[in-house]
């Protein structure tokens, strides 16, 4: 797995999918005019290509962003940035978009599988105090969109349409479907 995400690692463990972590840093700056789907697929591929792998290994790269309106929300820089994101999400729906790339190398050549998943999430309205209290817990700081659906923010999620695991950080059913095909 070409990711340092503890959530992705936990999801793979829970699903019984064996892996080793070989994370690399890639530039996560969006390109001008890039859609959220293109952005996460590009980053997932960059991560998958940057990791060395033996011919019998498959490399999984993934990246997630949150989209509200036309704005992509990455990981907040601090509690104030998390509060800004949460205020934007409060009382609205948004999309969580995760790109995946599976890479394998064989004598017959390189194989790349690229795809993405989208899940719509509805946030309940949060009071300024709730936003501040949650933003200062530290939980939002390493999460796209500034919240963890599986954590303290769970009480603010009214409903979702799509894969829950995608919102946590990795669309496990999509990944597994491709792993079965290898």
Query: Among this protein's residues, is 133 annotated catalytic?
Result: no
Confirm if 48 and 2 have CB atoms less than 8 A apart: yes
DSSP readout, 62-103?
EEEEEEETTEEE---SSHHHHHHHHHHHTTSEEEEEEEEEEE
CA distance 84 to 146: 9
Contact 73, 88 (CB under 8 A): yes
Query: Can you say how many angstroms the Cα of residue 145 is from the centroid of all Cα atoms in its chain?
Result: 10
Give me the catalytic one of 38, 63, 133, 142.
63
> Catalytic residue numbers?
63
């Amino acid at each position: 797995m070409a990711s340092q995400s503890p959530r992705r690692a936990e999801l793979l463990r829970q699903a019984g999918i064996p892996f080793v972590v070989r994370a690399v840093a890639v530039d996560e700056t969006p390109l001008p005019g890039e859609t959220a789907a293109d952005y996460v697929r590009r980053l997932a591929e960059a991560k998958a290509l940057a990791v060395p792998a033996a011919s019998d290994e498959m490399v999984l790269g993934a990246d997630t962003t949150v989209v509200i309106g036309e704005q992509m929300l990455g990981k907040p820089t601090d509690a104030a940035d998390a509060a800004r994101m949460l205020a934007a999400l409060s009382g609205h729906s948004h999309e969580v978009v995760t790109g995946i790339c599976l890479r394998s190398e064989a004598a017959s050549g390189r194989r790349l599988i690229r795809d993405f998943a989208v899940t719509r999430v509805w946030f309940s309205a949060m009071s300024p105090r709730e936003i501040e209290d949650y933003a200062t817990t530290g939980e939002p700081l390493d999460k796209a969109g500034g919240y963890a659906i599986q954590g303290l923010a769970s009480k603010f999620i009214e409903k979702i349409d799509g894969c829950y695991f995608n919102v946590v950080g990795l669309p496990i059913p999509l990944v597994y479907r491709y792993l079965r095909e290898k």
